Amino acid sequence: MAADRLAASMQSLVDLMARLRGPDGCPWDVRQTDDTVKIYLLEEAYEVLDALEGATPQEVCSELGDLLFQIIFLAHLASERKEFDFTDVVETVTRKMIRRHPHIFGNVQMESAEDVAANWARIKQAENTGPGNVSYRLQKVPPGLPALLRSHRLSERAAKVGFDWPDAEEIWKKVEEEVGEARAAMDHEDPEAMASELGDLFFTLANLARHWGENAENLVRKANHKFLMRFEKMEKRLTDSGVRIEDATLDQMNAAWEDAKEREG
């Protein structure tokens, strides 16, 4: 990566943003605020995730650029208020990453990725300017995160102080317990209890995934993608056999679905 090319391209993007927000800029861009841009930031972040799960490198590159543009936009809005600018953003995160990697930029010795993660948590806790209690640190997990990802992060932080199941087998027992409670709520036709028990079940499953080194949010995203791919194959098989999916019986759809699964190997 050529340093002069990188510097020129970043400066060009920052200048472009200033032009869009300038007196003779784009009327739409001039109207934007933090509240409107943050929605696009979230959308672009999800589009990056989608691209990473199967798009071409060129598409990933494009989506990362779109996400970067929203970051530049938010930094420019802050610079207009004389709070900070994009240079401050870059310098701040650079200092933070150097501080949190003392095994690379300092004299601290680390033997494993687990050691690095534990030390990272200690450094981050020392940086925290809020109350020192654990409850506060849990509250700082962004409420706007996707629910399963937030479950993962909440339980992950709680586990750092020892509030966790000892192993996956114990979590599985809890999963079975939650399934039983959901079943009882369903048998009693109690919608409110059913909703509560399903929520507990999802939270427990997120913990089970975490103990297996997985993230429930990623797992469900992959399951969603798998469902979509299989549904498309099911519909194609029905169409190829002369049956519109709207006219197919449940048995026909199930047969086509199972055929699609078998062909996946």
Q: Mean pLDDT check: name the lowest of 136-145, 232-241, 249-258.
A: 136-145
**Global pTM value:** 0.72
Residue 223 class from Cβ within 10 Å (0-12 exposed, 13-18 middle, 19+ buried)? exposed
Our measurement of the distance from residue 65's CA atom to the centroid of its chain's CA atoms, rounded to an integer in Å, reads 18
Confidence grade of residue 130 (pLDDT, cut at 50, 70, 90):
low
AA identity, residue 86: F
Residue 187 class from Cβ within 10 Å (0-12 exposed, 13-18 middle, 19+ buried)? exposed
Structure confidence at residue 137 (pLDDT): 79
Q: What is the mean pLDDT of the chain?
A: 92
- Tokens 């079940």 sit at which residue? 201
pLDDT of residue 9 exceeding 90, the answer is yes
The helix/strand count (H/E) of the chain reads as: 13, 0
Domain positions in the chain are 3-84, 128-214, 219-263
pLDDT of residue 112 exceeding 80, the answer is yes
Our measurement of the distance from residue 120's CA atom to the centroid of its chain's CA atoms, rounded to an integer in Å, reads 20
pLDDT of residue 114 exceeding 70, the answer is yes
The CATH number fitting domain 128-214, selected from 3.30.470.20, 1.10.150.530, 1.10.287.1080, 1.10.560.10: 1.10.287.1080
Work out the percent of the chain whose per-residue pLDDT is above 90. 76
Rounded to 5 degrees, φ, ψ at 252 are: -65, -40
Show the tokens assigned to 22.
Answer: 């300038």
Work out the percent of the chain whose per-residue pLDDT is above 70. 98
- 15-32 pLDDT, tens digit per residue, is 999 999 999 999 999 999
Highest-pLDDT range among 107-116, 127-136, 228-237: 228-237
Please give the CATH number for the structural domain made up of 3-84.
Answer: 1.10.287.1080
CA distance 110 to 108: 7
Confidence grade of residue 131 (pLDDT, cut at 50, 70, 90):
low
pLDDT of residue 225 exceeding 70, the answer is yes
Q: Do domains 3-84 and 128-214 have the same CATH topology?
A: yes
- 159-179 pLDDT, tens digit per residue, is 988 899 999 999 999 999 999
Q: What is the mean pLDDT of residues 239-252?
A: 95
CA distance 79 to 18: 10
Structure confidence at residue 132 (pLDDT): 63
CB atoms inside a 10 Å sphere around CB 79: 19
CA distance 140 to 130: 10
Structure confidence at residue 91 (pLDDT): 97
- 193-219 pLDDT, tens digit per residue, is 999 999 999 999 999 999 999 999 999
- 34-70 pLDDT, tens digit per residue, is 999 999 999 999 999 889 988 899 999 999 999 999 9
